[in-house]
Every structure is written in C-alpha cells, then in structure tokens.
Structure 1
Amino acid sequence: MDLTGQTLLGKYEVESLLGVGGMGAVWRARHALTGRKLAIKVLDEAYLKNDQVTRRFGREARVASSIQHPGIVEVLDLDQTAEGVPFLVMEFLEGETLASRIERRGRLQQEEIVRLGRMLLDALDAAHTHGVVHRDLKPENIYVVPAGRRGELVKILDFGI
C-alpha cells in the first residue's frame, strides 16, 4: 500500500516511505495543522486477518504511550486507514540507529558505550517500572538522536510485544 501523498484522518500528510520491517512499513509524515514531523507505522495488510498480530500492534502503541520517558519513542495516536489498516503515529526521530552508528564507525569508544548504555538502562528501567519488557531490544531498535546542549539522547522503539 503506497501512502505517499495521502492524508490520514484529515491531519497526517504522508510524505515518503522511511523503511519496511517485519510487521509493516514506516512512513515520514507531517501534521497538517502544526507542521510537526511524524513517523507513521502501518501494519502490513497481510496481517489484517490475524487477530493476534493486530492486537499486538495495538498493544505496542498503548504500552509505549503509557511509559512517557524521554528515552522511549513517543506514540501520539493509534487509528486505522479508511481501508481498515491499523497505524500508529510516533514522533519523528532525527539521527541514526545504534546499528547504523556501529556499522559506520566500526567500533565505539568505551566512553560512548558507557554514556549511551546509561541512557539505555534508564529508559529500560522506566519501561520495567511500568511492567513492560521490551522483548526485541537490539541495535536496530535503539535510536541515537541529537539533543541540543545535552549532546545526544537514546530512544528505544519497536517494543516487539
């Protein structure tokens, strides 16, 4: 399903495809009124008849939005397209995955590993405090984003619930 150029719910203007994962595609979008950059994760249509997968997709959105921690990607909305395909709206992350950084640099310095590791553990602690276990934590699901004067921030996404 190509969503490029479409407007979802009259407010999410889809701009381009960011990537395709195991459960669906992630699209770059913009809020029509505020102009805020967003990422929209759309469940692959192949899973529409699989109640277990569609429930898991919704649960991922509800769980991530309940944590509200700077180290957890912010989930803003959960809905479905006019065709009944579920999607969730998240903050758009500038930066790179930890996997990309490791691939680009080859090896990280000890100081960077400790700094990123502390932020990652803080975010995981917040998730665990809410009774949530990630279940799919890997460098591809960890984003390193610019954070102004604070340098960088780690963001966990794709809870794999």
Structure 2
Amino acid sequence: MESAGAGHPAALLDGRYALGECIGEGGMARVYRAEDAFLGRTVAIKLIRPGIDGASSERAHSEMRVLASLNHPSLVTLFDAHLVPGQPEYLVMELVEGPSLADRLASGGALTSEEAAQLGAELAEALHVVHTAGVVHRDIKPSNVLLSPAEGRAPR
C-alpha cells in the first residue's frame, strides 16, 4: 500500500484499487470512491478502522459473510474483501451513485405518496431477503438508504 498524502490513508490498495474521495464515514470505517484497475470499474471501498480489541475486524468479517450470501437488486453487492489482521482491512462493494434518502429528503422535501410507496415496497423486499437469511440489520435509517438513479423511473 502506498501513502497518498493528506486526507487519504492510501492511494493504492493491493496494487489494484486507487482510492478517491471519502464519500461516507461511520464508527467502524470510512468509505471511499475508488477505481478497480484490474476490472476497470468504479467501486466503493469500505476501509475498516483498526479496533483496539479487534471488534471492528470481527464486525467486518460478519458483514462480509452476510453481504456475500445475499443477492437482491435493492442490496449492495460485495465484490471483494481483504480482511487480514495486521494489514489494511477493507470491503469492496458496488458503488451507488445516487444520494442517500436523508440527502434526498433534505434537498427535495417530502416524498410523494407514490415515491414513498415504491421505496417502502423495495425496502420491504430487501429486508425480507435479509431477514430470511437470519440477519437483523439494526441500523435502518435514511442516511443508510442509498437511492440509485434509474432512467425514466423512480430511483431504486
């Protein structure tokens, strides 16, 4: 891994992923827009913050197993993972280009009843897939709902 300078923990991960801007952040990780040089596509890299007690790494392993086992158009796809103790740990996921639901509500106001019904149905389908797999999300909130733009239709 090469150093990137101020503001970026790394410019290149494993000779494959070129990190760009930070697009999200939580207690466990920072998410970066990145380019996969091997496959030539833009992805999201969730770079795990090292945990003093290893809790962050265990949560990342759990998230990796869950994401790898699920498949639904309204769930983010996991492409790759690197979870080796003592090295930078990260998950490589599908990049959703649209805003979060929180951003959409802040900039555009309330959803129409049609938009709310469509979004509610898609969220219910995705949660059904997740719950059927025995997983409870535990952090469903507007900032964690990403809206993917769709040509000629409401976002997914």
TM tier, smaller: 0.7 to 0.9
Question: Could you report, residue by residue, the CA deviation over 1:27-81 in whole angstroms, capped at 9, with x for unpaired residues?
Answer: 1101102221100011123x1x322331111111210121111111111111048
Larger relative contact order (CA 8 Å, sep ≥ 6): 1
RMSD: 1.9
Within 1, Cα distance between the matches of 2:67 and 2:44? 14
Greater strand percent: which structure? Answer: 1
Aligned-pair identity in percent equals 38
Q: Is the 8 A contact 2:43 2:92 kept in 1?
A: yes
Unmatched tracts of structure 1, length 5 or more: 154-161
Whether 1:23 and 2:41 are equivalent positions in the alignment is no
TM-score by length of 2: 0.87
Which residue type is aligned with residue 61 of structure 1? M
Q: What corresponds to 1:74 in structure 2?
A: 77
Q: Is the 8 A contact 2:100 2:143 kept in 1?
A: yes
In the TM superposition, 1:2-21 aligns within 5 A as 2-4=8-10, 6-21=11-26
Q: What corresponds to 1:39 in structure 2?
A: 44
Question: Could you report, residue by residue, the CA deviation over 1:103-132 in whole angstroms, capped at 9, with x for unpaired residues?
Answer: 112211111100110011011011111111
TM-score by length of 1: 0.84
Within 2, Cα distance between the matches of 1:82 and 1:51? 9
Whether 1:60 and 2:63 are equivalent positions in the alignment is yes
